[in-house]
A and B are shown apart, each in its own frame.
Chain A
Amino acid sequence: MTNAPSSSSSQQPGYEPAATPPQVTARRTLLQQTLRDTFTRPGARIGVVWITILATVGIFAPLLANSAPLLIKEKATGAISSPVLSTLRPSDITLAVIYVVTITLLLWKRFSLGQSIVMILAAGLLAFLPSFLLIKSQDAPVYERYRLNEAAGQYEWVVRTIVPFSPNDRVNDVSGTKLKSPSGRHWLGTSIFGEDVLSRMMYACRVALTIGLISTGIAVTIGIFVGGLMGYFAGVFDLLAMRCIEILEAIPRLILLLIITVFFGRSLYLMMTVIGLIGWTADARFIRAEFLRLRNLDFVAAAKALGLPLRSIIFKHMLPNGIAPVLVNASFSVAGAILLESTLSFLGLGLGAEDPSWGQLLNQARSGGTGFNWWIATFPGVAIFFTVFSYVLIGEAMRDALDPKLRKRE
């Protein structure tokens, strides 16, 4: 704003030019605006709180629930050592590093989304490679070792983890620990094999969150890719792909997952991939609908006229405008994947007996031994419910944040 020339100010002594120029509002991308609107709603905030608790507990589970103590000082040699560190695996360390980096980036807010993702992945890789090389593979751990040594008086002092039991620790050194109700020693009781329920639930957080995120990631990626091409080109490709989508949707998800789990072996990675490969059709439909609407708009014609490459038109120009329903659906997708995995574990067809899962614990409540064991039924069920409810709340908040806005714009 240029200052008024002195001649005019002398002509109109009462006139004062505006002191400051009008403020320019902060420009945010659609994603930032959406996230901001979503997480001001109370429902989404509750959901995020629970999921953060879950992620923290799951990622730091080896330090929170372990049969090996945090620190011991031996009487004989006087050396202080940390047995917990010898039980850590490369995946534990990688996850912890990724967690710390993600929290830092969320709070620091200096970098864009793409830069943040690259930094997180780089940190994960940097943490994984050395730990993979340095940590030797371990034999089957002897869980009773530290308890027996402590009882024999070998340690001067012992600092244990909060929950002093590993998830697969069947407490063989004490008799009669199977199917015990909650007590001072086992805060949430023991399972059918004598394992501590709280410890298993903490480690099961990992499985739940991992399955949810990775399978939704796979589904969204494939869905965006196929749906984008279908919507952009329309015509014959659209017809053929639509038939394929209908055929894939004709088979119920649970049944397809059951077939693959029963006939192709049980593995966490296989289950994640398959849930993702089954669930991409919904996202493809959403993206296709949005792209069919967008392709007639002027900016797409302009992009084509400018000769931009196809990947630029689809991913940089059309996709940010059409991603809204996919984001909403992604949250419900994660909830659905967690439920699907729990159901499969409940039916006995999930992961093995070694890997803890909430559904597996529920199965033990029903079929295990004498009568009904209320502690194995209540607590894992509450965990599943809270997790699914959190994602549903976030999804609903996102839907409320996105849809009225779109209507206002149009």
Chain B
Amino acid sequence: MARYLFRRILLFLPTILGATFIVFMLMALSPISIIDALLPPSGEIRPGERAVKEAYIEERYGLNAPPPVQYLRWLNNISPVGFKKWEKDDPQVVTAKAEETQLREARRLELAANGITGREADRAVRQIDITPNAGAPRLSRPAIKKPELGYSYIQSRPVWEMISEALPVTLTIQVIALPTAMTIALLSGIWAARHRGGAWDIGLGTFLLALSSLPVIWIGVMLIGFLANVEYVRLFPAAGLHSVTSSAMSFFPQFTDAGFQPGYLLDNLWHLALPVICVSYGTMAYYSKLTRTSLLETLGADFVRTARAKGLAERVVLFRHAFRTSLIPLITVAASFLPLLVSGSIVVETIFSINGMGRLVIESLYRNDRELFLSVSLTILILQLIGYLLADIAYVIADPRVSYD
């Protein structure tokens, strides 16, 4: 079992490499790049000015290397096992830089003497490049180092900071939504399997089918428009996760002279109610139908017939014998919910103005923020793979017949 787990974790690597490669290449090969984001299109006061700025940005952010090389550099940054980079104050780097500056000046004077100035001169001068440059990887020093997720040039903040602010918010919503949805789904699925064929079962089935095909974009807009609106019913707040005065509140609700004061906790839950409903209803409907189908299949097996023939109570047959076996397809599907932690909340966070990971994805796309987007994609990928691994472990626990050795 430990060997199997180790092998599975090793197999993560090609998947992560392949997926990040595809995402990186798509972003690198697009006609829109970081230059369009940092240098807004505008006229030039002096001719050739924009070209100089573009050249500077390209060199600073390493965009003048071919895309596969850029990918390898990014990979080197984020992986805990990689190559150390040349530091700025390393003596070799300093001498190389001084030599480079000297040679470039000499060349520039030479070109100016021949009458070549401006853009062409810049291009020719920049071809003099003495390695090692600061920030380039040292191929002679492999090391175990701290993974850096990069620095967002658009928002001028380290990516890790932005993700560490946004991830807990998204996780809060999902950690409340997913277990609630799955519990309700399991209970309703078991109930439907027990009362199979009745009018209630068919009605519930159709209702759940309709529920799972309700688009989140519509339900979110309707909920916020009708239930959080001053013009209609104001049951819930319209935006965000905390009231304006929440920082002054105590944590737990209190009864004071001024009446009932909802504390920070209740205020947060009140704000979370609508987003959690939007995130979880589709999952709940789908999972409930799946539970019903899986349980019905198991209830047709021989061992259930034996258990009933033995005279066991229906409840015991259901929960002690049949349920565990029917868990296997349910576990597969539950594992596939984990990557939806982030991507499933994109729409809900946009509608309810919540600053979570989904909002981060959309912002990074709107602003062509490559570093941030790549790191968010990486987070989603890792969550997904962890989800599949947890599913495999759960298989072994649920079904004693399954063994991976």
The secondary-structure label for the interface of chain B is helix
Most buried by A among B19, B219, B221: B221
Return A35 CB to nearest CB of chain B, in Å.
21
Question: Which of A325-371 touch B at CB < 8 Å?
Answer: 335, 339, 342-343, 346-347, 349, 359, 362, 365-366, 371
Known: A248-B22, A259-B27, A262-B32. 11 other contacts (CB 8 A): A250-B15, A252-B339, A259-B373, A262-B368, A263-B30, A343-B217, A372-B226, A381-B222, A384-B218, A389-B210, A392-B213
The answer to whether A275 has its CB under 8 Å from any CB of chain B is no
Query: Given A251-B22, A254-B343, A259–B365 Cβ distance below 8 Å?
Result: yes
Chain A residues, CB < 8 A from B232:
372
Please state if A366 and B213 are interface contacts (CB–CB under 8 Å): no
| Residues 246-282 of A at the B interface (beta carbon under 8 Å) | 246-248, 250-252, 254-256, 258-260, 262-265
Complex CA distance for A263 and B209, rounded to whole angstroms? 36
Which 3 pairs between the two chains have the least Cβ-Cβ distance? A381-B218, A263-B30, A247-B18
CA distance A362 to B347 in the complex (A): 12
Q: Is B215 in the interface zone, CB < 8 Å from A?
A: yes
Separation of A359 and B350 alpha carbons in the complex (Å): 14
Select one of B26, B30, B215, B380 contacting A384, CB under 8 A.
B215
Is B166 located at the chain interface by the 8 A CB criterion? no
CA distance A389 to B222 in the complex (A): 18
Known A-B contacts A259-B26, A365-B225; the reply to A252 vs B380 at CB < 8 A is: yes
B177 to chain A, nearest CB (A): 18
Partner of A362, one of B14, B30, B218: B218
A385 CB-CB contact with B under 8 Å: yes
A259 to B20, CA, bound (A): 13
Between A and B, 30 residue pairs with Cβ closer than 8 Å are A243-B18, A244-B18, A247-B14, A247-B15, A250-B385, A252-B380, A255-B343, A258-B361, A258-B362, A259-B23, A259-B26, A259-B365, A263-B30, A335-B213, A339-B215, A342-B215, A349-B365, A366-B221, A372-B225, A372-B231, A374-B226, A377-B221, A381-B219, A384-B215, A385-B214, A385-B215, A389-B213, A392-B212, A393-B209, A396-B209
Mask: chain A, 382-398; 1 = CB below 8 Å from B; 0 = not: 00110011001100100
Chain A residues, Cβ within 8 Å of B226: 372, 374
**Are A389 and B209 in contact (CB-based, < 8 A)?**
yes
Determine which residue in A259, A264, A380 has the highest number of CB atoms from chain B within 10 A of its CB, and name it.
A259
B232 (CB) vs chain A CBs: closest residue: A372
Enumerate chain A residues within 8 angstroms of B27, measured Cβ to Cβ: 259, 263
Residues of A within 8 A of B121 (CB): none
In whole angstroms, what is the CA distance A260 to B340 when docked?
Answer: 20
The minimal Cβ–Cβ distance linking A176 to chain B, given in whole angstroms, is: 20
Using an 8 Å CB-CB cutoff, how does the interface string of B195-227 with A read, 1 for contact, 0 for none?
000000000000001101111111101101110
Smallest beta-carbon distance A264→chain B, Å: 6
- Are the C-beta atoms of B222 and A377 separated by less than 8 Å? yes
* Docked-complex contact A243 and B217, CB < 8 angstroms: no
**Could you tell me the dominant secondary structure of chain A's interface residues?**
helix
B384 interface residue (CB < 8 Å to A): yes
* B31 at interface by CB-CB < 8 Å: yes
Residue in A255, A264, A265 whose CB lies within 8 Å of B361: A255
Interface presence of B131 (CB below 8 A): no
A347 and B358 CA atoms in complex are apart in Å by 12
Verify A371–B229 contact, CB threshold 8 A: yes
A44 to chain B, nearest CB (A): 12
Q: Which residue of B lies closest to A258 (CB)?
A: B365
